[in-house]
Chains A and B, each alone.
Chain A
């Protein structure tokens, strides 16, 4: 890890000014991605501005019935917030489907949007990567591309963004509140991330020194409130695969499939993995909860193939 200066920000405006004035300064929020990149040599800032003490930790109702979520609200706290669980079910599910309990306790809402790709070449400083080192080339093209882009890629980069949460926020028409040296602005989540084009090093439309301070969501109607789940199984390090509608929760709490009934013939021509019931929920619904600690019989179940593999995305 290269040496860097460290400053603890007292307020958001001060943090923005400090980072704006230093070309190689970065903000540090939960650190689950940045600290890893400091270790790997992927990020080499000369100043780290720690924003963990900023008062951006509130989830509050807006006058229009929407919700404002502070950028420093932890992913686990957002997923557990009663209003988000009730009115933005999809956001809660998306947050819970990423990373681990420990990581979600640290990771923030702003940081989740600004986490970087899990492309193995981006994270390996011994290989060329246009996103990490502009002009050095793309090792993924012609290389390992299991988690890479099908749509929106360019000749310079085929990396994807790893956030499940961003997908949910896009579907919810959420807005990102950004503070910069010249004041505050708002941008739809769908316009925050850039396609790689010929400048893959630039993940987002944010200028250097701009800070995400909050997310704002439009008011939600009573129904439908859709949840999404990655269509690929088993869970993989890169959870940026397309999500699909899973179920609709009615105001009365009943559940029904939001996928229209399909004829067997139509079903047989599609990928069963896409239309099958969600893997883990299916298992949970079809058998009584297992409690091995109550019946200490030898289990025939194989050890849990761990869901944690290289650099979990959120």
Chain B
């Protein structure tokens, strides 16, 4: 059965009719042609589908599109409006933080969401003092980015890129 869905994706508004089973990821890719979000495992384990929904990072493969009716969705493409690369994109390039690149849009969105969480002083499980300020050490970045897999194994450079972006955006 069709349901009306309104989404703002990377600044562009869309109204469409979707089946109740449509995930946010499938709505983006198959209905709206937004290919920045990638389908990896489709079970919330790899993080390739990570997008920002109203500013928070989510696995779009595990969200029904209808749950997010009216939401503002930002993909890695939307973080580089009109091709203008963000600090994060530039850091990924500078540190060679990918090989095949399939996981990269998810990594970039996850990093953007993670940096915002850290700026809000949200703790992680490796944060020593839960009441103290959050300092993004390498250990912290590894933990906070652990929801994004890279099968090329570019982790060392991804951590370096995210660390650089964190310092530059401070």
Contact = CB atoms under 8 A, between A and B. Distances in A.
B160 interface: yes
Contact of B47 (A3, A86, A308): A308
Interface stretch (A4-12, A18-26, A59-67, A264-272): A4-12
Contacts of B146: 100-101, 304, 306-308
Interface stretch (B9-17, B29-37, B50-58, B74-82): B50-58
A260 interface: no
A99 B144 CA distance: 11
Interface stretch (A139-147, A166-174, A289-297): A289-297
B156 A303 contact: yes
Given A80-B123, A96-B125, A293-B167, A299 B156 contact: yes
A48 B3 CA distance: 13
Contacts of A311: 43-45
A293 B110 contact: no
Given A5-B1, A307-B146, A290 B139 contact: yes
A312 B126 CA distance: 18
**Among B46, B122, B143, B155, which residue has the most Cβ atoms of chain A within 10 A?**
B122
A308 B160 contact: no
Interface in A262-314: 280-281, 283-285, 289-294, 296, 299, 301, 303-304, 306-312
Contacts of B21: 1, 3-4, 38
A32 B62 contact: yes
A3 B20 contact: yes
Contact of B126 (A8, A284, A292): A284
Nearest to B59: A102
Contacts of A52: 67
B144 A101 contact: yes
Given A32-B44, A85-B123, A101 B110 contact: yes
Given A35-B63, A101-B144, A308-B47, A280 B20 contact: no
Interface in A69-114: 76, 79-80, 82, 85-86, 89, 92-93, 96-97, 99-103, 105-106
Contact of B129 (A96, A99, A253, A293): A253
A6 B130 contact: no
B72 interface: no
Nearest to B60: A102
A97 B164 CA distance: 26
Interface residues of B, number: 62
B147 A101 contact: yes
Contacts of A214: none
Interface residues of A, number: 58
Contact of A36 (B1, B20, B43, B154): B43
Interface in A194-215: none
A28 interface: yes
A31 interface: yes
A49 B110 CA distance: 29
A52 B64 CA distance: 11
Interface of B: 1, 3, 19-21, 23, 42-47, 50, 56-59, 62-64, 66-67, 69, 95, 110, 113-114, 117, 120-131, 135, 137-139, 142-149, 153-156, 159-161, 163-164, 167
15 contacts: A3-B19, A3-B21, A8-B69, A31-B62, A32-B44, A48-B64, A52-B67, A80-B123, A100-B148, A101-B57, A101-B124, A280-B143, A281-B126, A292-B156, A292-B160
Given A103-B147, A308-B46, 6 more contacts: A35-B64, A52-B67, A85-B123, A281-B126, A304-B159, A312-B45
Interface of A: 1, 3-6, 8, 28, 31-32, 35-36, 38-39, 48, 50, 52, 76, 79-80, 82, 85-86, 89, 92-93, 96-97, 99-103, 105-106, 253, 280-281, 283-285, 289-294, 296, 299, 301, 303-304, 306-312
